[in-house]
Amino acid sequence: MIMQLRQFFALGALAVGLTYCAPSTPPAPAAAPEEPTLKSAFAGHFTVGAALGAPQFTGQDTAAAQLVAREYNTITPENVLKWGEVNPERGVYNWEAPDAYVQFGEDHNMFIVGHTLVWHSQLAEYVKEIKDPELLRAALKEHIDAVAGRYQGRIDGWDVVNEALNEDGTLRKSVFSDVLGEDFLTDAFKMAEEAAGPETELYYNDYNMWNADKRNGAIRIINKIRENGGRVDGVGMQGHYSLSGPSIDTIEQSIRAFADAGLKVMITELDVTVLPNPWDLVGAEVSQNFEGSPFMNPYPEGLPDSVQTALAVRYEDLFRLFLKHSDDITRVTLWGVNDGHSWLNGWPIRGRTNYPLLFDRQNGKKLAYERVMALKK
């Protein structure tokens, strides 16, 4: 009997053990999907980037830096690599800011653009004084070797020559063209390839490239550079546009022409001014400046909804065009991080309040941003 009771209790315990389950841990909630960004939305089509000022990569403007890291996968420096900034005197180089810029790009796994090796503006004074061709060519090589050579393997693409043409496609007057003639273009690209290395892309960059005369002039000089042994991988079509012009069809014609010439196409320095400009304004020549007036600064307190909508439509149309030609366009770079950072607040009239970008002065997403992102939904 005792044995039977033991068996009974043992079987009971076994039954309890078989039916009892420890409380299960509730499954972890599914991670919320990451919010789309410009770089994720257009991945597989082209990189999307912004031009950075020193505060955005040296820790002074952390909010803008966070925006850049979140939204963009390519960067261009506004000023720190221009000749007058990085090499103000012969043999004198200011590396601190450029080093920080390149490090910022590497830290965030970005395509890093160098801007620019040869430009008539923001040029060191010592260069302007050189009249002897051999001395100027030596100074050109010394500068390119130092700057492009320092970042070999770190900067992914260089604007080698910037804005060398007039609106009619002829060569712009500058110390380089005056002393060296058109040969300075080939010299610059050959020197850049040697200093930057064979893996670094080399570009010609200019504004108003939608203008047929200027476009044809760019193709002409690029073909000549190539015929003389220089390497030009792509062209930067600066996108300093307005709400009304140039037309989408006009921009498209140049995209096709440059692609047909065997060039990678980049939309660079993209912004859309919402303000009136002086009647005699020409392109994006930085030396121009005009007196201000209330008529020329109509939105000091904020942008009316109607203009905000017009800006959004303009950006939507532009990015729709870029997507249409994404087989040829490799990069789209906006010229600035947010509206407050844009150069258009001070050009061509100082002290104006412009709204030309996708993010407002508080780094908030504008309607233009939403309309651009909607193209990929």
| Catalytically active residues, by annotation | 269
Distance of CA 81 to the CA centre of its chain: 14
How far, in Å, are 82, 202, 269 from residue 344 at the CA level? 19, 27, 11
Residue 142 has phi, psi (to 5 degrees) of -60, -45
Helix (H) or strand (E) holding 272: strand 264-273
Residue 146 has phi, psi (to 5 degrees) of -70, -50
Those residues whose C-beta lies under 8 Å from the C-beta of residue 213, and which sit 6 or more positions away, are 167, 168, 169
Residue 181 has phi, psi (to 5 degrees) of 70, -165
DSSP state of 301: T
Burial 93-118 (b: 16+ CB within 10 A, else e): eeeebbebbbebbeebebbbbbbbbb
3-state per-residue secondary structure call for 4-16? HHHHHHHHHHHHH
How far, in Å, are 65, 144, 302 from residue 244 at the CA level? 31, 39, 20
Query: Residue holding tokens 């000091």?
Result: 300
